[in-house]
Amino acid sequence: MPNQPTPRPMQVEVPKPFYSKDHDTRVCFIVKDPESEFKKIIADLDIPCVADVIGFDRLRREYREFKDKR
Q: What tens digit of pLDDT does each residue of 14-60 get?
A: 787 766 677 777 888 888 888 888 889 888 988 778 888 899 898 88
Q: Is residue 6 part of a domain?
A: no
For residue 47, the model assigns a pLDDT of 79
Determine the pLDDT at residue 2.
67
* H or E stretch at 53: strand 50-55
Please tell me the predicted confidence (pLDDT) of residue 1: 63
Q: Quick check: is 34 in a domain?
A: yes
Residue 9 belongs to some domain of the structure: no
Residue 20 lies in a domain: no
Q: How many structural domains is the chain composed of?
A: 1
Residue 16 lies in a domain: no
Tell me which residue range forms the domain holding 44. Answer: 27-69
